[in-house]
Each structure stands twice: as structure tokens, then as C-alpha cells.
């Protein structure tokens, strides 16, 4: 685990592989909702992946805490998520 036990090393690697050209405004909208409600808005899977990238690359996981798991679940459940979009499965 890393970032105070929020994310696994595999999840961090997955997030860092997900950088995209999604607008900062869309990503910040996801992160704001995640911080304030613990939920993710209905957005494209690329926006969710970009939010994960931003959290990890800027060492901001502590801002969302367990909301990180909500973000991962939102990617897994997204109807447009391809196999390559999916975060690694947790074993804990």
C-alpha cells in the first residue's frame, strides 16, 4: 500500500499509465465531488482515469481518502470501460 494505505502499488502504476488530454476543469470537477461527497459524477471513463492520474501524480490521494476506492469502482462499472481501462483487482 502507498499514500497512507489508500492505494496499492498496482493501483498507483495503473493510475500513472492513464494520463490523457482531458481538460483540467473536468478532472477537478470529479475530484471536487469525490472530496465533498465520496461519490463520482457520471463522466466518460477517460475523465475518471485522468482523475486517478492526477491524484497519484500530484500526491493528492490524502484529499479523497477512501473515495479512491469509489473512483476505482466507478471505472470498473463504467459501461465504456475497456479491459485496458480497468484497475488491478484488490486482494485485501
3: pLDDT confidence band, cut at 50, 70 and 90? low
Tell me the pLDDT tens digit for each residue of 45-85.
999 999 999 999 999 898 898 899 999 999 999 999 999 99
Q: What pLDDT sits at residue 92?
A: 67
pTM confidence score: 0.90
Count CA atoms within 13 Å of residue 5 on its CB side.
1
Query: What is the predicted pLDDT for the residue at 45?
Result: 95
* Interacting residues of 23 by C-beta distance below 8 A, sequence separation 6+: none
**What pLDDT, on a 0 to 100 scale, did the predictor assign at position 79?**
96
Amino acid at each position: 500500500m502507498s499514500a497512507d494505505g489508500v492505494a496499492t502499488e498496482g493501483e498507483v502504476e495503473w493510475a500513472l499509465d492513464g494520463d490523457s488530454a482531458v481538460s483540467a476543469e473536468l478532472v477537478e470537477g470529479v475530484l471536487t465531488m469525490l472530496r465533498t461527497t465520496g461519490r463520482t459524477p457520471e463522466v466518460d471513463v477517460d475523465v475518471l482515469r485522468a482523475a486517478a492520474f492526477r491524484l497519484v501524480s500530484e500526491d493528492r490521494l490524502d484529499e479523497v481518502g477512501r473515495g479512491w476506492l469509489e473512483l476505482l469502482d466507478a471505472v470498473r462499472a463504467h459501461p465504456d470501460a475497456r479491459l485496458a481501462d480497468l484497475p488491478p483487482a484488490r486482494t485485501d
